[in-house]
Amino acid sequence: MDGIIEIIGAVVTLIGTFFLFLGSLGLVRMPDVYNRIQTGTKATTLGAMLSLLGIGIIHLDWYGKIIVLIIFILVSNPISSHVLAGAAYYMGIPLTKRSVVDKMSKKTVLTVKKQKISEEENN
Amino acid sequence: MVNLILYIALAFVGLAVTLTLVRFIKGTTSVDRIIALDVLTISSIALIGIISHFADRVIYMDVALVYGLLSFVAVIIIARYFERGL
């Protein structure tokens, strides 16, 4: 019979893999490159971290390598998605038609600058 | 009990890999395919972790670490190539 700690670790691993499944489901269903980057990074980062943590709870003497792996995923995954999103915007891939605002387009940047200037003049 | 729960977790990871492969094949732009590759790698790291429990060998974690490192460098280099060429 397994101990209670091993069962807790297995359940944590199960939750993590469920998050991985949700991330890939969003990757299929989202309408846009940027939405796919967002769902494909956040959910899978949490999912991979939780599943490795569960394995680390089951085998408590493996903690060194698992902590190194978790910190590496936590640092590297957002950086790669950020770089990819910048490259996609530079390539000119359009946003979906349902998106409300594009804060990086030249028009929006100019209007924000005008608003700031008028506020300073009022003050 | 633990092995049963981990088999269900393996099924979830397999489902995730299958759905990601759909996006990898269908992807309308090349950036989509690179995102799918990234998600595939992260899922594979979790898969290697679960397999290392079944095989009872900690050395598989080193394989996962090197795999993640190579994928990170590959994604950064491909994004830089999209942006301004190598």
Cβ distance B31 to A25 less than 8 Å, yes or no, reads no
CA–CA separation, A33 and A94 (whole Å): 9
Q: What is the dihedral of CA A78, A79, A82, A86, to 10 degrees?
A: -170
How many domains are contained in chain B? 1
Phi and psi angles of residue B7, each rounded to the nearest 5 degrees, phi first: -65, -40
CA–CA separation, A103 and A92 (whole Å): 14
Q: What is the pLDDT along chain A (123 residues), one digit of tens a residue?
A: 568 888 999 999 999 999 999 999 998 888 888 888 988 889 999 999 999 999 999 988 888 889 999 999 999 999 999 998 888 888 888 888 887 877 777 777 778 788 888 888 887
Cβ distance A2 to B1 less than 8 Å, yes or no, reads yes
Of A66, A76, A80, the CB nearest to B61: A66
pLDDT tens string B51-72: 999 998 889 999 999 999 999 9
Which residues make Cβ contacts (< 8 Å) with residue A39, sequence separation at least 6? A23, A26, A27, A30
Maximum alpha-carbon separation in chain A: 75
Domain ranges of chain A: 4-97
Nearest Cα neighbor of A40 from B14, B25, B36, B86 is B36
A2 φψ region: left (φ > 0), alpha (ψ -120 to 50), beta (else): beta
On whether the pTM is more than 0.80, the answer is yes
Of B13, B38, B82, the CB nearest to A80: B38
* Terminal CA-CA length for chain A: 73
Q: CA-nearest residue of chain A to B15?
A: A21
Long-range contacts of A98-106 (CB under 8 A, 24+ apart): A98/A31, A99/A32
Q: What is the ipTM of this complex?
A: 0.89
* Full residue range of the structural domain in which residue B32 is found: 2-84
CA–CA separation, A122 and A24 (whole Å): 50
The A residues from 32 to 61 touching B (CB cutoff 8 Å) are 33, 36-37, 40-41, 44-45, 47-48, 51-52, 55, 58-59
Displacement of CA A13 from its chain's centroid (Å): 19
